[in-house]
Structure 1
Amino acid sequence: MGNPFGVGVVWLGRPLGASYEPALSPRENDTFRTSFNLVGTFDNGWGWDTALTYSKNNYTQYQQDQLKSRLLAALGGVGGPNNDELFSPFDRSNLSQSVIDDFTHMTRSEKTTDLLVLDAVVDGELYELPAGTVGFATGIQVRKESFKVETDDVFEIKFDEAGDPIPVDLIFLQGLSEVDVDKTSFAMFAESIIPVSEDIELKAALRYEKLENDSSIDPKLAVRWQISDQFIMRASASTAFREASLSQQHASSAVITSITDYELDGTPKSPAFVGVIATGNEDLKPEESKNYNIGFIYNPTEDLDFKIDYWRVDYTDLITVENAQGKLIDDPNGVDIIRSDAGFLSSVKVNYFNSSSVNVEGIDFESTWKLSDQFNLSFNASHFISYELTKDNGEVVEAAGSFNVDNFARSMPETKGSFNLNWVGESQRASLNINYVSSYETGVDVSAIPNESSHVDSFTTVDTQYSANFGLTEEAEAVLTLGIKNLLDEMPPRTYIAAGSLSYDPKQHNPLGRVLYAKVKVAF
């Protein structure tokens, strides 16, 4: 009903557009944390430290949407509270508020997390070696956490007999699953500092962790060698262990994401905002890693130092989530690609999974030069040598230097760095900071698109800040801070992913241009 064209048409649009009042979407975030701590010393000089810490976060979200069933009823002329009103997207001059109220729904969801942690540590000196005293510490930790999600009936994701999520009765939002789970874990550790000689210090540590369904023993060994007054070498090797969160294991949630679909001939369509439904995986294995580091510190003078570190992390069973865009590219008509009867992309289901391996290596560099009692220069940079990951389909790709549009990694420039000039006075200070992000590639084929490039240029910005400390009384002070971010008003480099997508990379660049700010902090 209400179709003035006389033939079947497809309507792509919002029921309530820009001519209507925007919907309010309030958020409430309440956090509570308390800690009780007892410390003391034994008769033999060893110290003990215990703490009981409890924290709770409650996050409530309200979001307005339209009920799919009531909107379809209104399009058929049987909408409204009495099932007798029409909503025509082609003629809204007679659209009544009662029809709008009938197909409008304010969703409500509440997420609650609780964490209770008991820590107990003892430390002291074991015995004397020719080079010094051997220090030792050991302790335990008991951790209990819970995760709960509650939603209204409309917003709740329910599942069919096959375990697949049933679409919620909303046209835009995709819903949440209700969850109420908890888990308890136990850990104990021991570590020691051993002066091997006057120039060599060794640190050894061991951590045992027991989960409800798994356990792990992780060692660490680190050495520091004072080769000369100006030159120090340091190295370490360790393993680490991380279990999946309760949300990753049990919750199903959905977000609206810009996804590019494709025509039958492979031509990309304009991106559309569709639901990406992430489903928890109770079979997730704990994530494990092997970590290596070797570095050098060089102090040619008391006022100048250079630090360089090479590091490598080899992950096994990395906990991550499938990439919705990559999943659609791999199989546009797969079982997890949900389309309407007319063939339009509706949503994409993604799952948390364990990537078989991710191997990362890089170099960090840092230098500080004290020019005088008031001025100093500092420089730091990080560079990815490689970020090799295994996608959910088994393909191994290099993520460093790429936007990573089709895998679970974020956009990843190879190099980031900053240069800082600082001045410190008696009650004032100022700084000038230059920030750099290197160029990278999107991997998108733009050969048939005029004036577009798969290359994202490097981005350099300048920030400056000044602060002054004012003594209000003997016990109170106020600090005034003035600053400018992106002093030269640089615009972010253009990043083309698909027609209609954002023209910049929000994970690496800021589109705001020059930003001025001021703040006052009062302490008493």
Structure 2
Amino acid sequence: MFKHSLLTLAIASTLAVPALRAQDADKANATQLEAVTVTGSNIKTTDLEGPNPVQVITAAQIQASGKTTLPDFLRSISANTGNSVNEQLTGSFSAGTAGISLRGLGQQNTLVLVDGKRVSNYATAYNLQETFVDLNSLPLAAVERIEVLKDGASAVYGSDAIAGVVNIILKQNYQGAEAGVSYGGSTEGTGQTEHDFHILLGHGDIKKDGYNVFFALDGTRSNQLSQDDVSWLRNSDFRNQPGGTLAWVPTNYYNNDPTQGFANAVGPVQRVPYGAITPGMAGTVWAYNPAQYTTLIPGIERYHAVLKGTLKLTDSIQAYAEAIYSRSNASFIFGPPLAIGSGLRSWNNATQQLVNIDTTLPVGNPANPYSVPTPVNTNLWQLGQRNKRDHTQFNRVLAGLQGHDGGWDWDISVEHSESQLDENVTNFGNRYAFQSLLADGGYDLASDDNPASATDALRIATQRPASSTLSSLDATATRSLFDLPAGTVGFATGYQFRNESMNSQTSAQVLSGTELRPAIDIIDGSRNVQAAYAEFNVPILSTLEADVAGRVDHYSDFGKAFAPKFSLRYQPLDWLLLRGSFSRGFRAPSLPEITHSTAVAYNAVIDPYDPITPGQPRGFTEVYAANPNLRPERSRNLNAGFVVSPTANTSFGVDYYHIVQNGIIAPDNEQQMVDDKDPRVIRNAQGQIITLYNQYINQQSLTTDGADIDLKHVVHTQQFGSFTLDGSWTRLFKYSQPLGAGQAPVNSAGTNIFGSLPHWRGTTGLNWALADFSSTLTWYYVGGYRQNPANLLTPQWPTEVKSWSTFDLSVAYSGIRHTTITLAVQNLQNRRPPWDPSNTYYDLTQADPRGRFVNLGVNYKF
């Protein structure tokens, strides 16, 4: 299957190790410079700056930032330009998670590694199709450094590395002990608090003692932040903002007309002008404030544990093993009491279709004041808010051997990694009880005083399990091949086998058709992947070197993918470095996209043909299906840049990137389907959209380019200490993609057409160290962006969303023996996120509503 591919070369090279030992025996004792492996290459180097742009973040920098979780820090880097999720996104199947999206290409195009090796993806998919590594599952206290490769790397790592790689490197050869605790809270009266702790233990020096054992444990607990905890959000009244409305939800009405309300208030509702909610509408309606049912940040309880051991077997061989375990609970309000009205459905597992549930009140029903069957819209108020609690467990067990023999450095390892989700929801609705009570009048929808027996019959709790696993074998070998006039040719090769599987199920209540308004994301599939790769580093001149890499992957579901890469590093002067690369990459179709899967979600679209409210957003149910005929997404990456370092304390660099991604996997555009009267758009008897059937296909291409700007300058003084200025900024020039199949590309850079993608994003820190004090002031900047023209529902809507600029401050004091006390303030100026009427006040992918947050921590080293 791999005939005439790089696999043949890789296996032959690996098997050639014994044959080459003899000719390299005389070099075994040669003096060598200390070299390390940098993310993006398997060949060790002594260069501080390589041919690929790599941002290195140390544990000290993370600590100085005042950030208390790994995703909080990683999501603040400038290359994380958009389209990544965090814990604020609670209305999804992957609620309570956090990812990173380099270049705005989505989490599925950013590869996350731990110690240079893959870990399992989250147990289920985000946005129904995107598989990603949940950063919340990975430890922070055990991190030694993080390397962010801001260039395509499929030639080395395979799928998912189109936008780049985040390599989280855990502490190596750690000795000693330390423990720390911290407590934080909001200064804005929201009641949100956070508790954190960590413990590090390490014993043994590999070089001196022949072994090292390392253990790390950290944990965090924070309480839930609801919308009604935030003073400027709790009323959901945004009429003081340009284009803002009263963001309340009409309910308790008949005949699909919100102005035909119930005779009396039922539930937490008030009579409000209809025009305050929907401009241009007359009359009054019953409506409720959704803030009481909206969680902005879940309540979290999370723990991570790491146990590592390294044993020196001989002078040239070491054995190592590592175990990572984490568990997390995320609790939040899923939504208001279940809404009853047209479009209410349940699932028919036999036909794999939705079944419409008639909500028409029969004549004589206690909630029906008319003498004819009457449609009704209301909520099951007495059931209470719907709640969700996600329990997640993650593990990675890794064992391997590494050594140096006959001029070769080699590493062989096996691992198993797994993410498990147990999702529990309460206060959902029972279809059969509802139909029975509707028919016999046993539950009065127009009353708050129904018997407990009826309420209990309507209420159900469900449990949904999901898991994602990764098992792999990795073998790499690297060596110096031969000398050229300009230097030595380096070579690396390797082989990988891995099995990926995902089993995301739904509840028994959904499969039996019992649950009303079910959301479904069923994924059941697995595949095997084999890969081989080779890499050469060739010194052309003493100042010029080339790196050539290639990788062949074979997937058991779609076939083969080949990814090459060519890089140049040119340093004509000690203070000037020029670099560039060209590569091809790929993203394999995710298991939800290509394997056995069915998904049901709830969306909204502007329907110009709606007979009741034309041109207004209309909610509908969307059913997605996988496609076994998908091909991988392909990419072309071009990077070019320079680094100027006139002194040892100063450096300035600019790197340009250009990415073209073809065959992007996506469902058809819903708005285009509605506009084109696609037959897959299903309408009810009144002509309103109720269901849309869709499927994943290889669609159009995407082109994006931009530039990273990095600056570092250090000033040492005898009297005033040391000052370090460190900044990273990203400028997005283009993010061009068609709105739908067959349409012309639209440049959405600086807009929110394809998610919020501001032109500028930057982080700049100023550290001042003097005696026992160290302080860091960090400026985070997110540029403004233009509104998607399709979002401009009224002339009053602003066409621009303003920029968001915040400062964090941390001050550390280490004047007490073995002790460091740190005070950190997030959002020092207490800035509110900018107003964005296309969201509930603000865009959660770019900002958060916590306001000023103060944290005090103590760390003690034994």
What is the TM-score of this pair, normalised by structure 2? Answer: 0.53
Q: Which amino acid aligns with 1:388?
A: S
Q: In the alignment, residue 375 of structure 1 is paired with which amino acid?
A: F
- 1:134 paired with 2:489, answer yes
Match of 1:290 among 614, 617, 636: 636
- Per-residue CA distance 1:469-500 (angstroms, 9 max, x = gap): 5877xxxx665443222211222221123xxx
Three-state SS of the structure 2 residue aligned to 1:371 is: strand
Q: 2:401 aligns with which of 22, 35, 38?
A: 38
The 1:349/1:60 distance shift into structure 2, 3 A limit, reads farther
Amino acid at match of 2:723: F
Aligned residue among 819, 829, 835 for 1:494: 835
1:236-267 alpha-carbon deviations (Å, 9 max, x no partner): 11111221111222322334456555545985
Aligned to 1:105: 460
CA shift in 2, pair 1:367/1:322, >3 Å:
farther
Q: State the AA in 2 paired with 1:37.
A: G
Higher relative contact order (CA 8 A, sep 6+): 2
Counterpart amino acid of 2:845? K
Q: CA deviation at 1:336?
A: 4.0
CA distance in 1, matches of 2:625, 2:432: 25
Q: How does 1:216-295 map onto structure 2 within 5 Å?
A: 216-250=561-595, 251-257=597-603, 261=607, 263-264=610-611, 267-269=614-616, 272=619, 275-295=621-641
Where do residues 76-475 of structure 1 align in structure 2 (5 Å cutoff)? 76-77=439-440, 86-93=442-449, 95-156=450-511, 169-177=514-522, 179-212=523-556, 213-250=558-595, 251-257=597-603, 261=607, 263-264=610-611, 267-269=614-616, 272=619, 275-322=621-668, 324=670, 326-327=671-672, 330-331=675-676, 334-372=678-716, 374-395=722-743, 396-404=745-753, 409-425=754-770, 428-444=773-789, 449=794, 451-468=796-813
Could you say which residue in structure 1 is the equivalent of 2:35?
A: none
Q: Comparing both structures, which one devotes a greater share of its residues to strand?
A: 1
In 2, Cα distance between the equivalents of 1:139 and 1:422?
Answer: 42
The 3 A distance-change label for structure 1 pair 156 and 424 is farther
1:285-321 Cα shifts (integer Å, max 9, x gaps): 1111111011011123332211011111111112334
- Distance (whole Å) between structure 2 residues aligned to residue 62 and residue 98 of structure 1: 23
Question: Which one of 71, 75, 78 corresponds to residue 438 of structure 2?
Answer: 75
1:247 match: secondary structure: helix
Structure 2 CA distance, aligned partners of 1:413 and 1:156? 42
- In structure 2, the CA distance between the partners of 1:444 and 1:10, relative to structure 1 (3 Å rule), is farther
Aligned partner of 1:81 in structure 2 is none
- Match of 2:267? none
Q: CA 1:491 to 1:337, structure 2 compared with 1: closer, same or farther past 3 Å? A: farther
What corresponds to 1:514 in structure 2? 852
Which amino acid is the alignment partner of residue 140 of structure 1? Y
* SS of residue paired to 1:87: coil
1:386–1:400 CA contact under 8 A, matched in 2: yes
Q: Which amino acid aligns with 1:313?
A: I
Is the 2:650–2:714 Cα contact (8 Å) retained in structure 1? yes
Give the C-alpha shift of residue 138 in structure 1.
Answer: 0.6
* Alpha-carbon distance, 1:371 to partner: 2.3
How far is the alpha carbon of 1:86 from its aligned partner?
Answer: 1.7
Instruction: Give the corresponding residue for 1:16.
Output: 381
SS at structure 2 position matched to 1:155: helix
SS at match of 1:361: strand
How far has the Cα of 1:13 moved from its partner?
Answer: 2.5
State the alpha-carbon separation in 1 of the partners of residues 456 and 726 from structure 2.
Answer: 59
Give the Cα–Cα distance (whole angstroms) in 2 for the partners of residues 446 and 220 of structure 1.
41
Q: Following the alignment from structure 1 to structure 2, what is the Cα–Cα distance between the partners of residues 120 and 98? A: 63
- Sort the Cα spacing of 1:169 and 1:258 in 2 relative to 1 into closer, same or farther, 3 A: farther
Which of 388, 401, 410 in structure 2 is aligned with 1:25? 388
Measure the CA separation in 1 of the matches of 2:784 and 2:517: 35
1:448–1:139 distance in 2 versus 1, CA, 3 Å: closer
Gaps of 5+ in 1: 78-84, 158-167
SS in 2 for 1:76: helix
- Residue deviations 1:173-213 (CA, integer Å, cap 9, x gap): 32233x43210011111112112111111111111111113
Where 1:144 maps in the other structure, the secondary structure is: strand
Percentage identity across paired residues of the two chains: 24
Confirm or deny: 8 A CA contact 1:54 1:114 kept in the other structure.
yes
Q: Which has the higher helix share?
A: 2
- Cα distance change on mapping 1:126 and 1:28 into 2, 3 Å: same
Give the AA of the match of 2:497.
V
The aligned counterpart of 1:162 is none
1:117 maps to a residue whose letter is S
CA contact (8 A) 2:700 2:741 kept: no
Normalising by the residue count of structure 1, what TM-score does the alignment of the two structures yield? 0.85
Cα distance in 2 for partners of 1:133, 1:340 equals 72
SS of aligned partner of 2:457: helix
SS in structure 2 of the partner of residue 122 of structure 1: strand
- Please give the root-mean-square deviation of Cα atoms over the aligned residues, in Å: 2.7
Contact 1:355–1:390 (8 Å) recurs in 2: no
Aligned partners of 2:473 and 2:416: how far apart in 1? Answer: 9
The structure-2 alpha-carbon separation of the partners of 1:174 and 1:384, relative to structure 1 and needing over 3 Å to count, comes to same
Given that 1:485 and 1:515 are in contact with CA atoms closer than 8 Å, whether structure 2 keeps it comes out as yes
State whether residues 792 and 799 of structure 2, in contact with CA within 8 Å, keep that contact through their aligned partners in structure 1: no
The CA distance in 2 between the partners of 1:337 and 1:467, in whole Å, is 59
User: Measured at CA, do residues 104 and 50 of structure 1 come closer, stay the same or move farther in structure 2, by a change above 3 Å?
Assistant: same
Judged with a 3 Å threshold, the aligned counterparts in structure 2 of structure 1 residues 438 and 101 are, in CA distance, closer, same or farther, namely: same
CA distance in 1, matches of 2:827, 2:673: 37
Task: Measure, in 1, the Cα distance between the counterparts of 2:858 and 2:673.
Answer: 49
